């Protein structure tokens, strides 16, 4: 049965709620705040790009587009192009790729100068579904190739379901299809998102083409230093999502932390620049989302004006309680607390019942 329009609001609320349902601090004993991972080279920081394993250069700052509302994101992407952004982070599940595509197509910047990342949603794992999903994304983004295509989450759901496992599909087979798409030139690089060490090791053991990027949540509340170092040791570039801790969206408010504010005042930049610089100095790409022209321009420019000292880095990491902002019930993070796991299991069961009776394409409603 198709999901009716009336149901879509409820489903959207469900996703919004579960996606950020675990904004509670993690147990300090689970995540240790550690020294920073390997730093970016001076050359990389000065060029404002990071080199992927094949030598391609990925701009260190890109524009995030999640929860950029319909009607707003096209203007935001146009403003970002004018401000100098060349890297855009998209996904069909954000339900705004066609608007992003419109802005990119009419932005006056040659395609060869743009870096466009998109993601493959969780219920597209079989070869034909992967190919169809890519074609939809390419059409929405008005381009004939992607610079980077990521497996959005390390899960395998049956087509048009939420969290219903597909026993006839696998991440390894999905990766083989992505490798074929690289061979065919439809995708320049392939990578993953929300993968931990266990999932990466499994993928690396069968991959012909290594993942170029792992996109994960990273900010001073969640340094994930061991995972960042594991990726960097294996030639996988790390991209930080929610690098501003989701701004003021979920009440965590890292931007208003007294230490962040003090460092911002000391370096005469915005609090956002302090958080972005914290990731950039460790060679991690950042993709802050903003639809505000002033803020998105500042996010691209201010982090290059200053550097954080080792002491300031330590102070930032000590100043904020550890925690995640993006932890949906299907997440496989190994730092989840028992209550988060139980909540996830309970929500999974509820979702399975709700969605077992419904046809659902979350990338389209
Ligand atoms: N792979 C994944 O599973 C995954 C998960 C989450 C996110 N992502 C990607 O990562 C991107 C960024 O993460 P995010 O959107 O979760 O959160 P974020 O970038 O950490 O924070 C975005 C919030 O910060 C505000 N903001 C932006 N610049 C600011 C500034 N200079 N000063 C004060 N507030 C500022 C924005 O509001 P305004 O728009 O009003 O400025 C917005 O409310 C997403 O958009 C998406 O592309 C990927």
**φ and ψ at 49, to 5 degrees?**
-135, 165
Instruction: Read off the tokens for 167.
Output: 């026993």
Let me know if residue 362 belongs to a domain: no
Indicate the Cα dihedral angle 251, 254, 255, 261, nearest 10°. Answer: 130
Q: What is the pLDDT along the chain (365 residues), one digit of tens a residue?
A: 333 333 443 344 344 333 443 333 332 222 222 334 456 665 666 679 999 999 999 999 999 999 888 889 999 999 999 999 999 999 999 999 999 999 999 999 999 999 999 999 999 999 999 999 999 999 999 999 999 999 999 999 999 999 999 999 999 999 999 999 999 999 999 999 999 999 999 999 999 999 999 999 999 999 999 999 999 999 999 999 999 998 876 566 899 999 999 999 999 999 999 999 999 999 999 999 999 999 999 999 999 999 999 999 999 998 877 889 999 999 988 776 666 666 766 766 676 666 555 555 555 54
Q: Is 94 a catalytic residue?
A: yes
Q: What pLDDT, in 10s, does the model give residues 298-353?
A: 999 999 999 999 999 999 998 877 889 999 999 988 776 666 666 766 766 676 66
Query: 171: CA distance to ligand 1 center in Å?
Result: 28
Let me know if residue 365 belongs to a domain: no
CA dist 173 and 164 (Å) reads 18
Bridge partners, 189 (sequence order): 148
Q: What pLDDT, in 10s, does the model give residues 53-75?
A: 999 999 999 999 998 888 899 99
pLDDT of residue 127: 98
**Element (DSSP H or E) covering residue 6:** helix 5-19
Instruction: Read off the tokens for 329.
Output: 């019930």
Let me know if residue 363 belongs to a domain: no
Let me know if residue 364 belongs to a domain: no
Helix (H, G, I), strand (E, B) or coil at 66: coil
Let me know if residue 285 belongs to a domain: yes
Residue ranges around ligand 1 (CB below 6 Å): 64-67, 89, 152, 193-194, 215, 241-247, 249, 255, 270, 272, 287-292, 295, 298-299, 326
Q: Which DSSP symbol is given to 26?
A: P
Tokens 């998209």, located at residue = 90
Owning domain of residue 78: 5-356
CA dist 7 and 14 (Å) reads 11
For residue 65, give the ligand 1 atom closest to its CA: 45
Domain with residue 9: its CATH number is: 3.20.20.100
CA distances from 99 to 8, 71, 73, 77 (A): 20, 8, 7, 9
* Domains: count for the chain: 1
Instruction: Read off the tokens for 41.
Output: 């080279």
This prediction has a pTM of 0.88
Let me know if residue 17 belongs to a domain: yes
Let me know if residue 303 belongs to a domain: yes
Instruction: Read off the tokens for 117.
Output: 């990342």
Instruction: Read off the tokens for 4.
Output: 């009716």
């Amino acid at each position: 049965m198709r999901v009716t329009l009336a149901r879509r609001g409820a489903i959207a609320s469900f996703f919004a709620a579960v996606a950020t349902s675990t904004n509670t601090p993690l147990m300090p004993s689970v995540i240790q705040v550690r020294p920073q991972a390997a730093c970016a080279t001076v050359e990389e920081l000065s060029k404002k790009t990071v080199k992927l394993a094949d030598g391609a250069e990925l701009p260190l700052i890109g524009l995030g587009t999640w929860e950029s509302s319909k009607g707003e994101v096209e203007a935001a992407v146009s403003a970002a192009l004018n401000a100098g952004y060349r890297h855009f982070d998209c996904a069909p599940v954000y339900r705004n790729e066609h608007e992003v595509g419109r802005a990119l197509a009419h932005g006056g910047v040659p395609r060869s100068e743009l870096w466009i990342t998109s993601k493959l949603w969780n219920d597209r794992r079989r070869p034909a579904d992967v190919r169809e999903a890519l074609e939809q994304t390419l059409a929405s983004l008005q381009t004939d190739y992607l610079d980077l295509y990521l497996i959005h989450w390390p899960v395998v759901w049956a087509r048009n379901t939420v969290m219903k496992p597909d026993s006839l599909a696998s991440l390894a087979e999905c990766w083989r299809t992505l490798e074929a798409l690289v061979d065919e030139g439809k995708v320049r690089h392939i990578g993953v998102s929300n993968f931990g060490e266990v999932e990466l090791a499994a993928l690396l053991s069968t991959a012909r083409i290594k993942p170029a990027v792992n996109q994960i949540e990273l900010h001073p509340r969640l340094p994930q230093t061991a995972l960042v170092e594991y990726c960097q040791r294996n030639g996988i570039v790390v991209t930080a999502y929610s690098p501003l801790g989701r701004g003021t969206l979920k009440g965590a408010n890292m931007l208003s932390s007294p230490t962040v504010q003090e460092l911002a005042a000391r370096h005469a930049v915005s609090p956002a620049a302090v958080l972005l610089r914290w990731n950039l100095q460790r060679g991690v790409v950042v993709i802050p989302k903003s639809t505000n022209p002033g803020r998105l321009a500042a996010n691209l420019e201010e982090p290059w004006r200053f550097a954080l000292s080792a002491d300031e880095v330590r102070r930032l990491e000590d100043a904020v309680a550890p925690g995640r902002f993006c932890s949906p019930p299907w997440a496989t993070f190994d730092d989840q607390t028992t209550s988060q796991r139980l909540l996830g299991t309970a929500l999974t069961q509820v979702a399975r019942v709700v969605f077992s009776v419904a046809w659902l394409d979350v990338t389209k409603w």
